[in-house]
Amino acid sequence: MGGGVGISINAPIRIATENSIFAMPGIEFCNFWSKAYISLEAKIGLFTDVGAGYFLSRLRGNLGYFLGLTGTRLKGVELVQTGIADFYVKKEKLQALEKEILKQTNSQTSIEDIKVIVRKYEEKVERKYKDEEFINRVFGKCCVEMIYKALKEEEENKEFARKLVEIMDEQSSLSMKLIFELLSRGKSLDLKENLKMDMRIVLR
């Protein structure tokens, strides 16, 4: 979540388990009485930083805009379906996977060699996210206003669109516009340039 994503997502091999949760924005408040987690970042005018302009903008289709503007959480296989993670491995297999990597690798081992080992433990996952066609169609609009308008007018996926409108109604308008612009510019920038952009926005 948030900074944890920024640290881990640029790794050459990303493994998700059934317990993995992805969330951007990622400032979280846990109400221990209700066990409810509330994503606060976009509601108080902040934005998806820690290089999100780099990695969200490079997700397939318009999944990055969808995740950035709605703060939708992904869990388990959904991380692989969207391209956030590369492999899905059951938690119970992690210890055996780690042992084999330590046993079979040395300073000459390549990333591809390690991937070969990971593939022995992975569960096959369909590389497609639910409602992806709808997401690509709606979140490919030219600006936040047009995305919002398309969601309000959606008929085919009316219930899902209604829930997304409710989420966006709770977000800071400034925050959503910042996120949209950040992803739009981030597509053509490398990671270092995206992190510089994050810092400039935060300072202002």
* CA atoms of 137 and 62, how far apart (whole Å): 8
Indicate whether 70 belongs to any domain: yes
The pLDDT score that the predictor gives to residue 32 is: 42
* Domain of residue 37, CATH code: 3.90.226.10
Indicate whether 166 belongs to any domain: yes
Indicate whether 204 belongs to any domain: no
Indicate whether 43 belongs to any domain: yes
Q: Could you give the C-alpha distances from 36 to 9, 33, 76, 109, in angstroms and in order?
A: 25, 8, 19, 43
Token duo for residue 30: 């846990």
The pLDDT score that the predictor gives to residue 144 is: 96
In three-state form (DSSP H/G/I as H, E/B as E, the rest C), the secondary structure along the chain is CCHHHHHHCCCCCCEECCCCEECCCCCEEEECCCCEEEECHHHHCCCCCCCHHHHCCCCCCCHHHHHHHHCCCEECHHHHHHCCCCEECCHHHHHHHHHHHHHHCCCCCCHHHHHHHHHCCCCCCCCCCCCHHHHHHHCCCCCHHHHHHHHHHCCCCHHHHHHHHHHHHHCCHHHHHHHHHHHHHHCCCCHHHHHHHHHHHHHC
Tens of pLDDT along 149-183? 999 999 889 999 999 999 999 888 998 999 999 99
Indicate whether 156 belongs to any domain: yes
pLDDT tens for the chain, residues 1 to 204: 777 888 889 999 999 999 999 887 554 444 444 444 444 556 667 778 888 899 999 999 999 999 999 888 899 999 999 999 999 999 999 999 999 999 999 999 999 999 999 999 999 998 899 999 999 999 999 999 999 999 999 988 999 999 999 999 988 899 899 999 999 999 999 999 999 999 999 898
Q: How many domains does the chain have?
A: 1
Indicate whether 46 belongs to any domain: yes
The pLDDT score that the predictor gives to residue 80 is: 96
Indicate whether 203 belongs to any domain: no
Measured CA angle at 159 (ends 158, 164), to 5 deg: 95
Token duo for residue 141: 């609009």
The pLDDT score that the predictor gives to residue 29 is: 46
The pLDDT score that the predictor gives to residue 180 is: 95
Range of the domain at 71: 3-198
> Taking the model in full, what pTM does it have?
0.85
Q: Could you give the C-alpha distances from 35 to 27, 29, 31, 72, 75, in angstroms and in order?
A: 16, 10, 5, 18, 17
The pLDDT score that the predictor gives to residue 42 is: 61
Tens of pLDDT along 8-28? 899 999 999 999 998 875 544
The pLDDT score that the predictor gives to residue 40 is: 52
Q: Could you give the C-alpha distances from 86 to 3, 4, 80, in angstroms and in order?
A: 19, 17, 6
Do the Cβ atoms of 81 and 125 come closer than 8 Å? yes
* CA atoms of 85 and 140, how far apart (whole Å): 23
The pLDDT score that the predictor gives to residue 1 is: 74
